[in-house]
């Protein structure tokens, strides 16, 4: 596990979850996914809805069911993902607990709608087991699909970061220029000399000499907003200020940069040349 960030910029877990939900809801892929689900369910009429409801009724029923359960599941899953991310758990490792949280929330929504429209039948317990069983399976599937969508959206950014030219070498600055836009995004108690930037799922973890904070932004934008700070990208997920490098180590044939905050950041083979260009390697 990674070190837990001391503070998250941009608000509470709830506000961060709402931001991520907004990003999902404006995605064209999400629109296609939801529309496809509504159309297929309305036409096929599963779980007895084909016989029990007319075409317009089925459309309204399944549109309500899909949109409500997606909203509940997305909210619960995103909130769980953020909570786990704060504990240093990567998104891939969090898929199962995120899917479970989403499934439980979706099952609750389905139960409410089912009870209002059809009731829970003669055997409510069996009905609930069936509802939550289907909800968990579907939620796990949707969680994986959304994960793939997000990775696909991030792939062009990562490719661009791999091919971005190294920043021109500049004389080491003893302190951060106060006008750096990135610093102004940080909580007041974390504003200080920038040490490093690290990708944490949808966020960039900014490390300064005064602590850490997470910002909801892309690494490339964070590097740009670092302003006049002379830095070098070590990896598609790591950037470090040159004057914050304490030492460079070689461990099992791989380079690692030790920073002034006692952290070690990996250097990918494709980015090692940037350290040489900056005069930090022989």
> What does the pLDDT look like over 97-143, one tens digit per residue?
888 888 888 888 888 888 888 887 778 888 888 888 888 888 888 77
CA contacts within 13 A on the Cβ side of 13: 13
Q: Which has the higher per-residue pLDDT, 142 or 57? A: 57
Mean of pLDDT values over 42-49: 86
For the chain, what percent of residues have pLDDT higher than 70? 79
162 or 180, which is more confident?
180
pTM for this structure? 0.51
- Tell me if residue 218 falls in helix, strand or coil: coil
Tell me whether residue 157 is exposed, middle or buried, using C-beta atoms within 10 angstroms of its C-beta: 0 to 12, 13 to 18, 19 or more: middle
How is residue 183 written in tokens? 């610093």
Whether the predicted pLDDT of 86 surpasses 80: no
* CATH number corresponding to 181-277: 2.40.50.1020
Name the band, by pLDDT with cuts 50, 70 and 90, for residue 238: very high
Residues with Cβ < 8 Å from 189, sequence gap 6 or more? 7, 210, 211
- C-alpha distances out from residue 149 to 29, 144, 190, 217, 227, Å: 7, 9, 33, 17, 31
pLDDT interval class at 251 (50, 70, 90)? confident
Query: Distance between CA atoms of 243 and 239, rounded to whole angstroms?
Result: 12
Q: Indicate the domain borders of the chain.
A: 7-156, 181-277
């Amino acid at each position: 596990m990674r070190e837990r960030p001391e503070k998250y910029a941009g608000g509470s877990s709830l506000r961060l979850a709402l931001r991520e939900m907004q990003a999902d809801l404006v995605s064209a892929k999400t629109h296609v996914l939801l529309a496809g689900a509504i159309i297929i369910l309305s036409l096929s009429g599963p779980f007895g809805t084909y016989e029990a409801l007319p075409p317009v009724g089925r459309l309204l029923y399944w549109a309500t069911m899909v949109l409500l359960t997606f909203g509940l599941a997305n909210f619960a899953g995103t909130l769980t993902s953020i909570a786990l991310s704060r504990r240093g758990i990567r998104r891939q490792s969090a898929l199962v607990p995120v899917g479970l949280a989403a499934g439980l929330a979706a099952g609750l929504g389905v139960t409410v709608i089912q009870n209002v429209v059809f009731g829970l039948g003669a055997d409510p317990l069996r009905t609930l087991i069936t509802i939550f069983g289907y909800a968990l399976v579907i939620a796990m599937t949707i969680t994986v699909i959304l994960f793939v969508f997000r990775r696909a959206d991030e792939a062009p950014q990562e490719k661009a970061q791999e091919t971005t030219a190294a920043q021109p070498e500049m004389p080491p600055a003893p302190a951060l220029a106060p006008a750096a836009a990135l610093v102004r995004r940080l909580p007041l108690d974390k504003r200080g000399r920038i040490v490093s930037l690290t990708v944490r799922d949808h966020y960039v973890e900014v490390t300064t000499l005064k602590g850490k904070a997470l910002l909801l932004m892309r690494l490339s934008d964070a590097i740009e907003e670092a302003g006049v700070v002379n830095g070098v990208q070590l990896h598609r997920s790591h950037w470090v200020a040159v004057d914050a490098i304490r030492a460079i180590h070689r461990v099992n044939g791989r380079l690692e940069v030790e920073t002034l905050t006692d952290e070690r950041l990996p250097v990918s083979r494709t980015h090692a040349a940037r350290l040489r260009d900056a005069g930090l390697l022989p």
